[in-house]
Each structure stands twice: as C-alpha cells, then as structure tokens.
Copies of this chain bind each other. A is one copy, B any other.
C-alpha cells in the first residue's frame, strides 16, 4: 500500500546537487513510492538567486529567500541541507529544522565533523532522523553499510579513499606523467577540483569524512582536532615513479584504527601494495574498506562526488525516512556513547619511504644512515641510481617497521644536514594486513 500522505520535503540550497535532488524526486516519484510506501514531494526550496534557470520545475514549490526561515516555517516533514560550510547558514538551517521537529538530511561533512555531536543530540532528543549518507563517500552506501550491514561486528579498522579530487590527481600523475600543479590545473578545468583546492588537496575534506566513518565504526564521539592530516601537495613524479618501482601505489588514505590506547585517526599519502584491491581504485572513485572481527574485510567502491551520486545518497536517506526506518545516527544512541580518545600520530608503528635530494659526494649516505641508526631505525632498502658528482640526486630509503616519533626525530636531523638540499619527502607504507 502507498500511504496517501506524501513525505513533504524542503530543500535548502539549489546548486548542482540541490537541483538534481529536486529533479530525481520528481522524475522517479512512482518508483520511490513503490519502494518506500510513500510518495516524496518537494514542497519548498531556498536559494539565493530566484531568477536562475536550474533546469528543474519549481512551479508548485514554495520559494524561500531565507533558508533558516524555511527550515523553521515550511510545511515540510523533512529538510535537506545542501548549502555547505561548517558554520553560518548551513548550521542554523540544521538546528532550526531539528528544533522544529523535522527530519534532517545533509551532505555537509564539514558541519558534521565539527558540530555533529550537537546535531545528533538534538535530533535524538526530538526523535527525528538525521541522515548523512551523502556526506561520506558520495553515492557509496558507506554509512548504511557500516551502521547496519556490519552492525554485528566489532570493527577494528576503517580505511578509505575519501577524496576523489586527490585520487584523480594521483592517478593522473602516475598515468600521464604530469606533475601535481599540472594535474591540479587540469582537475580544476574539468570541474573535479575547486578554484580554492585547499579542502581537497590538503586532506581536510577526507578528514571530515574519516571522523564520520570512525564515529560509526567505533560508536563514539570524535573531535576533529584528533585527526592527523597531511595532503598531497608535497608529492612529486619522482615519488610516484619510485612507488611503482617498489611495488606500491600512492593513495591519500583516511585510516581509523582501534588501538589499546584509543583510536588512531590519520589522513596522509600512503604507499599501499599494488596488488591490493584498494590500489586499483583509480580516478575520481572513492573506496571504503571496513575490517570486522566476524566478517573480515569488506570494500565498497563508487563515485564519491558529483550531482548524481550525491543525490542518490540524499534520496536514499529520504526513502528510509519514508519507510519509517529509525537507526541512531551514530549507530547507537548518542547519550550512551563515550568520547573516543585519539592516539597521537607519534605512536604509529610501521614502515616508511623517505626520499631526499642530496649532494652527490662521498660520505653523504654514511652521514644519513648514521642518523637513522642513532634512532634505532633499520633500513629495508636503498636506491641511489643517478650519479652527478656535486649535483643534487635523489636518494630513496625504505625502513623496516619503526616508530613515527623515532622517524620524525631522525628526519629532523637529516633535513638539517647541509648536504640535504630540499625538504625530505616522507610517505608512510601501509600494508593493510588484516
């Protein structure tokens, strides 16, 4: 049976995603009604420019110039927030919608990573849904997969390729032999990267998503400040080529792992063994790999951004609401969730790739190796191929498993050596063993 009463929806923000959500809800009304038991209906929208043609029919939809006012007053059961930004209007819309007793669906990872706990508490207090499938890995049903599909498991680790822009740039560097700046420019020209690429290439966007995944996986509240974040700006074609030679592929990964002391949360470039399935996730694709104590490893791959994939996830959340499904946003009621203690990056144990540009002269290697030895770091491999006496040549070292603090201490001393001519490049090697 299809209920006569439709699920009325107000959409805040009519960029490409907002317009696509309206279009999808209208175009697939009967399919969605068949699947959820209720018809979805967009009854109100809000955006800045009313005159703009967005290619969707807004005729019978109430227009609000003020999104917060819409969230407060529109005759809608659910509000979709697609404005973006960690604060300001987006945050006010979300609070207002929940306070007015409406279900909230948002794609806003920055907002949730910084102020998610407040919103979750408020939503639970009001008994409304807070859907954010679109905020993590776009069209991949990662939130549902972790929260419900793997709910029987204690999860020990979640790893993801969580930023399509970075993955596209890294794939392009490897395949096309163009450097970071050229690939970034190309990604910007194709609309895969923003004019200001900071959020993407410096790892912040991936870190926002990692916080959301980690909260689901470990059922606790995580402070964004606990995430160690590095981006991909420092990587050169030389490093990409050495990675291939060593049997690795460089990926910007988000890693959340349960340790005895707490939760380790990191976003940084990693070398992963090339034969691992996650290594072949290329271009704009995202991936989420969860490790459950019962199920083993489960990987989900798909498009992490774009109007279609994001709208797919937003409407999936609406269909859950229409069906009456109510799962706590963080996988368990937030009132009972302990804050999770972040483990500092200094406690990482693992192997490292280190590339230096050094003066090609006798004794240089001995000098560097001595610094590693002083910190009990054992070398696994060593490559110095080019020979250009008294000029800069690359030297690549890989280490056996060691400790991050020791590595950083050695690195500081090595970087300060007069024979080391550029800032060293350090890439952590992640074998992702179960």
Query: Which residues of chain A have a CB within 8 Å of any CB of chain B?
Result: 1, 24, 28, 31-32, 34-37, 133, 139-141, 144-145, 148-154, 219, 275, 277, 280-281, 292, 294-303, 308-309, 311-316, 318-320, 323-327, 331-333, 336
Contact = CB atoms under 8 A, between A and B. Distances in A.
B294 A277 contact: no
Contacts of A275: 280
A280 to B, nearest CB: 5
A371 to B, nearest CB: 39
Contacts of A308: 294-296
B294 A309 contact: yes
A298 B295 contact: no
A300 B280 CA distance: 14
A319 B152 contact: yes
A332 B152 contact: no
Given A277-B277, A297-B302, A325-B325, A141 B149 contact: yes
A294 B280 contact: no
A221 B399 CA distance: 57
Nearest to A307: B294
Given A152-B28, A280-B277, A303 B312 contact: no
Contact of A319 (B151, B309, B312, B319): B151
Given A145-B149, A319-B151, A139 B312 contact: no
Contacts of A333: 1, 34, 37
Given A35-B331, A145-B144, A152 B315 contact: yes
8 contacts: A32-B151, A35-B331, A139-B294, A145-B149, A152-B312, A294-B312, A295-B313, A299-B299
A34 B332 contact: yes
B302 A298 contact: yes
Contact of A277 (B34, B281, B324, B326): B281
A129 to B, nearest CB: 12
A153 B312 contact: yes
Contacts of A32: 151-152
B36 A298 contact: no
A123 B154 CA distance: 31
A295 B277 contact: no
A145 B141 contact: yes
Contact of A296 (B145, B294, B302, B323): B302
Contact of A219 (B35, B144, B324): B35
A320 to B, nearest CB: 7
Nearest to A149: B141
Nearest to A31: B154
Which of A133, A308, A318 lies at the interface centre, i.e. has the most chain B CB atoms within 10 A of its CB? A308
Given A145-B145, A327-B325, A303 B311 contact: no
Nearest to A21: B152
A36 B151 contact: yes
Contacts of A298: 139-141, 300-302
Contacts of A325: 148, 323, 325-327
A195 B300 CA distance: 33
A307 to B, nearest CB: 9
